């Protein structure tokens, strides 16, 4: 069997084409009649005929809507992602037989209801309340000013003074994400395969790529939508590919997963110089381009950088009137 994927100059990779190829073969063999409606079809097909989830479904559903198609057919595990996109019918299928029934017009299963994005955003509080931080009033004020102006921050202080907690609580005092922002961030997580479809607000799980994803994310997912500004905290042993993105098939890195949120670099001096140098261009432009021999991919990366470090041997930190260890906070644009 010869399958032609046109246009030939467009790069095609991954299992997303399994289901469309199967539908094409069934149409050519007469099992499927010519459908009266136009669908965008995507999904990985297992040997037993079941459908497995794929990455990037939100972008596919958005494309189908912009092209004026009648709907999308995706694996049931991806339906929660596609339902975030308004203005397009989303049909969930568990097996190839479900797809055949739908295209032949014998299925009476209604489309998946669209999610009310604005309502989900209003009902999702920040994972950590900034008011829970006790003490460090000067640093809290500095972080408040930084959050208002989207300034980058360097916190200097010994262990146990609350640097990590304040960084993770920072989204709670930042402006809530709007609908467009939430959809943009969710598209990044969809492309990275990080959405779970949880129906209650839960932390987005960290990946399993190794160094660079050892810290759990602080953003929350509700019904396939990222509802709070993400906080990413890569380990100081993270590679450049883990931080800015990369791989044979380019995928979003930590700076893209922190889009519209906070990138927290703890133990800043421990990060390799090469990794820190890669942050210069994304901090200026708000995106990162990953180039390979077969082409390039641009991911969004507009984040607020919050770094922390311990004092050096020559820099003893002062104490306040109560004898508590203090912190210093410096701004950067």
- For the chain, which residues make up each domain, given as ranges? 15-114, 119-332
Per DSSP, the three-state class of 73 is strand
pLDDT at residue 205, rounded to an integer = 54
Do 15-114 and 119-332 show the same overall fold?
no
Question: Are the beta carbons of 55 and 193 closer than 8 angstroms?
Answer: yes
Instruction: Please give the sequence-ordered ranges of beta strands (E in DSSP) within the chain, or none if there are none.
Output: 39-41, 44-45, 51-52, 71-75, 89-93, 152-156, 202-203, 220-222, 225-226, 231-232, 245-246, 251-252, 262-265, 287-292, 295-300, 304-309, 328-332
Q: CATH: 3.40.50.300, 3.90.1150.10, 3.30.230.10, 3.40.50.620. Which one for 15-114?
A: 3.30.230.10
CATH fold for domain 119-332: Rossmann fold (3.40.50)
The pLDDT of residue 243? 97
Structure tokens at 54: 């794929």
| pLDDT for res 211 | 37
pLDDT score for 212: 42
Supply φ then ψ for residue 178, to 5 degrees.
-80, 175
Tell me the CA distances in angstroms from 160 to 152, 266, 325, one per residue in order: 22, 13, 9
Q: What is the mean pLDDT of each run of 10 residues along the chain (333 residues)?
A: 85 90 92 82 96 95 96 95 94 96 88 90 81 84 92 88 89 91 94 76 51 52 86 95 90 96 94 95 95 86 94 55 59 57
How are beta strands 71-75 and 39-41 bridged, if at all? parallel
283 DSSP 8-state letter: H
| Phi, psi dihedrals of residue 305, rounded to the nearest 5° | -90, 125
Predicted model pTM: 0.83
């Amino acid at each position: 069997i010869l399958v032609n994927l046109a246009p030939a100059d467009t790069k095609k990779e991954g299992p997303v084409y399994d289901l469309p190829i199967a539908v094409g073969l069934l149409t050519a063999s007469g099992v499927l009649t010519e459908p009266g409606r136009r669908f965008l079809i995507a999904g990985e097909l297992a040997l037993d005929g079941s459908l497995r989830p794929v990455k990037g479904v939100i972008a596919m559903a958005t494309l189908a809507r912009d092209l004026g198609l009648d709907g999308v057919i995706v694996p049931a595990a991806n339906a929660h992602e596609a339902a975030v996109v308004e203005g397009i019918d989303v049909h969930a299928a568990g097996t190839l037989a479900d797809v055949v029934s739908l295209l032949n017009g014998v299925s009476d299963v209604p489309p998946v209801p669209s999610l009310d994005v604005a309502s989900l955003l209003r009902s999702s509080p920040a994972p950590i309340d900034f008011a829970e931080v006790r003490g460090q009033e000067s640093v809290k004020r500095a972080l408040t000013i930084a959050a208002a102006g989207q300034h980058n921050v360097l916190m200097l202080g010994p262990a146990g003074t609350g640097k990590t907690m304040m960084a993770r609580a920072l989204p709670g005092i930042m402006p809530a994400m709007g609908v467009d922002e939430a959809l943009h961030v969710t598209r990044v997580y969809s492309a990275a395969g990080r959405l779970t479809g949880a129906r209650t607000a839960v932390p987005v799980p960290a990946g399993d790529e190794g160094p660079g994803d050892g810290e759990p994310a602080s953003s929350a997912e509700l019904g396939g939508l990222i509802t709070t500004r993400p906080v990413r905290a890569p380990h100081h042993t993270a590679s450049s590919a883990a931080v800015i993105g990369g791989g044979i098939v380019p995928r979003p890195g930590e700076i893209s997963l922190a889009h519209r949120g906070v990138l927290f670099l703890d133990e800043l001096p421990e990060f390799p110089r090469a990794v820190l140098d890669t942050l210069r261009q994304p901090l200026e432009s708000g995106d990162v381009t990953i180039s390979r021999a077969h082409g390039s991919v641009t991911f969004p990366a507009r984040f607020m950088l919050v770094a922390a470090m311990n004092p050096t041997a020559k820099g003893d930190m002062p104490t306040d009137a109560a004898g508590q260890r203090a912190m210093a906070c410096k701004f950067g644009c």
